[in-house]
Amino acid sequence: MAGKKLSERKLIKDYSDATISRLLGCNRDTMKTLWNIISPLKIFYQEDLIRLMDFITNHQSMFVLANTYSISEKNLRERLWSCLEILTDTMPQLDIRNRFVDNQGVKYLNFEKNSGAYCLTAIENASFPFQTHDSEFKSAKHGNKAELKYQMLVNISNGTICHLHGPYPAAYDDTTLYRESLKNNSSLISQPNEYILADKYFSGEERLICPIEKGKGQPNLDNNEKIFNNWLSSSRQCVKNLSQKYKRYKILNTPFRSNMENHFRIVKLITFIINKNLSGDLLDNVQLPSSFPYAERYLTAVHTSVAPIASGTPITMGYQVNSATPIASGAQVTSVAPFASGTSAAKAVVQKTPSNYHHSQHLGRHSQHLGHHSQHLSHHRNHHPSTKSHYNYISCTDFCPCHSPTTINLKN
């Protein structure tokens, strides 16, 4: 950068919207947001941010990138990693409390009055190529390719990512990574009746609702088990294309040659951009709840390490998980004064018209029954492989007011 005239430095305004999207992997508003984060420090030029986003989006070699921006390769490398470090340390951090936010604002859940189970998030793991010869990083799932694995927790109301855990070597299986994340952040599930939607790779874990699988030598799934799996699959649509959103950036498509800390910072930056594209300024402006139980743990929970945690680290939970505790039926997840009176958003919630509000109500009521049924069905199939399951009648109108009155027969 030394000796380069200010008039020769590239600015965000010099690029068209189409070029910004193609070259920098985001829109103009997001670039302005990122620049507003680091510009008060008066350390970097806009061109530093442009080079960083160009590197992440297109993953050209340092040599090619240095020639493109007329800068020495050494200077480019130093400024690029420095810009990434300061940007990711300065920008707003992921907050697990954002699972209480939908497109209308904050969902205030009354935990004391609602004893039924509910779901706010879905869990998903993503793996990215990493250059190393260490066998611990090889993924048996992806042809023994070396990879780094992350765990994401996604808000099912608006698709934003509210928790990021990793990186870990690909040899770590999904359940181990989930257990390690609980050790690192006890606020991941802080309410006794909160459940998370998961896929089959998490089967057997506490507090996770997983699909029912046909075991070896067992009969095919019956209609009710298929209905449950279809419901779970549709409820997890928010994570279906999560890996593709990350792999739009070529740096996560090819083996990463730097260290794990830089990889984590890049994933963290891309996560911020993904959330920004999904929620606009909502997560910046919303007032997150601070008065409900366990709030002090939400406020202090931060990601402090990118290295795997020792298996001997104790789990610091604020309650005791008891798998034998029944899930109360009939309890509903309600909103308690989520908006100021007179606002259009408040009227929308009172009238129960937004589809996202319906969706969250649907999942909250649905999960209180189906979470228990999932465990009971799996237990029944394991102990009685040759028989069908037997359950009570459940009214669909108990789950979602959008549906016409229908009764699902859960008896064979």
> Both 213 and 289 in a single domain?
yes
> Both 264 and 144 in a single domain?
yes
> Both 30 and 49 in a single domain?
yes
> Both 111 and 33 in a single domain?
no
> Both 67 and 188 in a single domain?
no
Whether 29 is covered by a domain: the verdict is yes
Query: Rg of the chain over CA atoms, in angstroms?
Result: 24
Choose the final residue of a domain: 34, 67, 90. 90
Choose the final residue of a domain: 90, 114, 139. 90
Contacts of 181 (CB under 8 A, 6+ apart): 151, 163, 165, 188
Whether 1 is covered by a domain: the verdict is no
The span from the CA of 248 to the CA of 151, in Å, is: 18
Whether 15 is covered by a domain: the verdict is yes
Looking at residue 109, what is its pLDDT?
60
Choose the final residue of a domain: 90, 108, 135. 90
Looking at residue 43, what is its pLDDT?
94
Looking at residue 81, what is its pLDDT?
97
CB 62 within 8 A of CB 76: yes
Write the secondary structure of 341-404 as one string of H (helix), E (strand) and C (coil).
Answer: CCCHHHHHHHHCCCHHHHHHHHHHHHHHHHHHHHHHHHHHHHHCCCCCCCCCEEEHHHCCCCCC
* Residue-range definition of the domain harbouring residue 277: 96-306
H-state helical runs in 173-255: 174-184, 223-235, 242-246
Whether 12 is covered by a domain: the verdict is yes
CB 387 within 8 A of CB 377: no
> Both 163 and 56 in a single domain?
no
Looking at residue 64, what is its pLDDT?
94
Whether 80 is covered by a domain: the verdict is yes
Whether 266 is covered by a domain: the verdict is yes
> Both 242 and 266 in a single domain?
yes
> Both 112 and 61 in a single domain?
no
State the amino acid at position 401 in one-letter form: P
> Both 39 and 164 in a single domain?
no
- Exposed, middle or buried: residue 246 (CB in 10 Å: 0-12, 13-18, 19+)? buried
Q: Which of 357, 401, 362, 399 is nearest to 105 (CA)?
A: 357
Query: pLDDT tens digits for the chain (412 residues)?
Result: 445 655 568 899 999 999 999 999 999 999 999 999 999 999 999 999 999 999 999 998 999 999 999 999 999 999 999 999 999 999 999 988 888 877 666 665 655 555 566 788 999 999 999 999 888 898 877 778 899 999 999 998 888 999 999 999 999 989 888 988 887 776 666 667 788 999 998 988 888 999 998 888 888 898 999 999 999 998 898 888 888 899 899 999 999 999 999 999 999 999 999 999 887 655 555 555 544 443 333 333 333 333 332 333 332 323 232 333 232 323 333 333 333 333 333 222 222 233 333 444 444 444 444 455 445 545 544 554 443 333 222 223 233 333 333 333 323 3
Number of independent structural domains in the chain: 2
> Both 239 and 154 in a single domain?
yes
> Both 233 and 174 in a single domain?
yes
- The residue written with tokens 């909160």 in the block is 194
The span from the CA of 97 to the CA of 332, in Å, is: 20
> Both 100 and 73 in a single domain?
no
